[in-house]
Amino acid sequence: MQNHNCILEEVIVLGQPQELIKMQANMIILTCLLLLPTIFGDIEKNETTFVPTREWQTVKKGTPIPGGLHVRHNFQTGVTEAKLMDSEDVEEKDLNENLNNSNVNSLTLHPEKAIFEEKDPTEKSNLFHHPIEELKARLKKIKQDSGENIPELDDEHTQQIKKKFKDYETLKKEFKALEINITTDSELLNNYFQKFHVHKNAITMGTLTTAETEEVLDILYNLEYLLHQIDNAKVFADMQGMSKIISPCLNGTNNEIKAEALRLLGAAVQSNPKVQLKALENDFVQKLLHILSTNNKMEIKSRCLFALSALIRQFPAAQKVWIDHGGVEIFGKILIDDQLQVQIKVMRLINDLIIERQNLNEITDANQQLKIKAYATADIEKKLLTYEYCNHLSNLMIESFKGEHSDQLRTDNYEFLETISDSMITIAPICIDRFRENKDELLPIIRHLLNFYQNLNLLMDKLQTTGNSRDEL
């Protein structure tokens, strides 16, 4: 038998894992062992030349055939047949000369019987003359060579790479810091309740440190953000947030915390009947009126009026409590002497409460009589007359134009002028008799306002006229 050389090509990939190189080498050796009986067989050279005709002829194994033939092979029997193409008209003589002159265009079937004419038939392969230990040594040399061919990085280049890319430990820390625990709003509320409970006694006793005050304010900020959602406000009320969080803040001495708690209360009760009822049951109408009459800070009074307005609007039961505990009287005192912004809020609230009652006549559903009955228990019209609110309102209008700051009021406080004018117009059906008592002082002011706005109308007309004339030019 002839032995033929099997050439093993060594492919070295820089940076390839050593285990992968070992696996590839083993696969190459195993493939050579399996294919050896097929590829390298001991057979005498087949000198037979295949002469094609127009009929199918059996091709003996190892016999080369010229190109351009029609060849078929039966995989079940292993028989190969060939003939000339039907469309060709080539003489057999030319084909024989082609075959004798060139072996380049020939095709050898049955590779297991192939003849390697460029090799010496007597030459034998030395592939398996080497023991397995020598093959392992060659594989080991492949690994060593692959490692030696990797260029070493100098320190400077290494530092440049580290600046561009983060190491594994740094990435682990950053990804861990990005982990977000998804919690529901109810869980957040419960968490803020627990944090607030730690400072509850210090708030009421006024012994909070600066850091603790900041922490409490942060809790109130976050709660106020959550309670703008009606469902969260309901959960807050069910968790006794009125008594556990808002009341301690209002009872404390820290005005900053008190102002934030008032804003939290207003956000919770606004347009939320269920929470309004909870606040009413916890006597917050009385507490707000007490703060309004005892605290002199404008911010506290402004926030207090915001919370009170949100609590009693569209809520006749709360309005009755507000009236019964001197709400109209307190508002009248504010109109006599208080900050301008506080007076504006008082007039707007009274104005809205009167409009609520006027809109009852527009309700046509079955609840109309129930609502009329509910509002009748809170007889605000009578209380406005009893506590001289009409007189306080007209006097405020007169004093605003007679005082030493009257010029400033007329030129700078358009919000005040608009608010007091709207309030007097809305309340006129109730207070018209009281207004007539001061008509000698009120009429000049009203005429002045009419002239002022009429002059503005004239100026607007002139501006429009000027613009049109220029357009025509």
23-38 confidence digits (pLDDT tens): 767 677 766 665 555 5
**310 with 331, same domain?**
no
Q: Is the predicted pLDDT of residue 446 greater than 50, yes or no?
A: yes
**What is the reported pLDDT for 361?**
78
Q: How far apart are CA 226 and CA 241, in angstroms?
A: 13
- Based on the domain organization, do 277 and 199 belong to the same domain? yes
Tokens (6 digits) for 310: 């949100």
Q: What is the pTM of this model?
A: 0.59
Average pLDDT score over residue span 449-453: 81
Q: Is residue 7 part of a domain?
A: no
Number of Cβ atoms within 10 Å of the Cβ of 325: 16
Stretch 171-177: mean pLDDT, rounded?
A: 72
* d(C-alpha 109, C-alpha 57), whole Å: 14
Q: For the range 222-227, what are the long-range contacts, defined as Cβ-Cβ under 8 Å and sequence gap of 24 or more?
A: 222/188, 222/192, 223/189, 223/192, 223/264, 224/260, 224/263, 224/264, 224/267, 226/185, 226/188, 226/189, 227/264, 227/267, 227/268
Report in angstroms the alpha-carbon separations of 182 from 31, 96, 227. 56, 86, 19
Residues 340 and 258 both lie in one domain: no
pLDDT score of 215 = 95
Which amino acid, 281?
E
- Clarify whether residues 288 and 332 are in a common domain: no
**Among residues 271, 287, 315, which one ends one of the domains?**
315
**Model confidence pLDDT, tens digit, residues 51-101:** 888 888 888 887 888 887 888 888 888 888 988 887 544 455 455 555 555
Residues 196, 305: one domain? yes
Q: Tell me the pLDDT tens digit for each residue of 234-249.
A: 999 999 999 999 999 9
Q: List pLDDT tens digits, range 274-316.
A: 999 999 999 999 999 999 999 999 999 999 999 999 999 999 9
User: Nearest to residue 421, comparing CAs of 442, 439, 441?
Assistant: 442
Highest mean pLDDT among 32-41, 160-169, 455-464: 455-464
Of 262, 280, 315, the one marking the end of a domain is 315
Greater pLDDT, 66 or 319 = 319
Same domain, yes or no: 308 and 342: no
Give CA–CA dist 438/435, Å, rounded: 5
Domain range for 299 is 178-315
Residue 234 falls inside a structural domain: yes
Backbone angles phi, psi at 34, to 5 degrees: -75, -35
| 340 plus 299 within the same structural domain | no
Query: Quick one: CA dihedral 199, 200, 202, 204, positive or negative?
Result: positive
| Residue of 66, 137, 71 whose CA lies nearest to 103 | 66
Please indicate, yes or no, if residue 393 is contained in any of the structural domains: yes
Q: What is the CA radius of gyration of the chain?
A: 51
Q: What pLDDT is attached to residue 139?
A: 72
- Is residue 201 located within the same domain as residue 280? yes
CB 334 within 8 A of CB 328: no
Cα–Cα nearest to 359, from 371, 377, 344: 371
Q: What is the pLDDT of residues 362-404, one digit of tens each?
A: 777 777 788 888 888 888 999 999 999 999 999 999 888 775 5
- Judgement on whether residues 409 and 349 belong to the same structural domain of the protein: yes
Q: Is residue 406 part of a domain?
A: yes
430 in the same domain as 306: no
Number of domains in the chain: 2
Q: Are residues 247 and 343 in the same domain?
A: no
In a domain, 300, yes or no: yes
Query: Are residues 254 and 347 located together in one domain of the fold?
Result: no
Q: What is the CATH number of the domain that holds 215?
A: 1.25.10.10
More confident residue, 63 or 272: 272
Structure confidence at residue 102 as a pLDDT band (50, 70, 90): very low
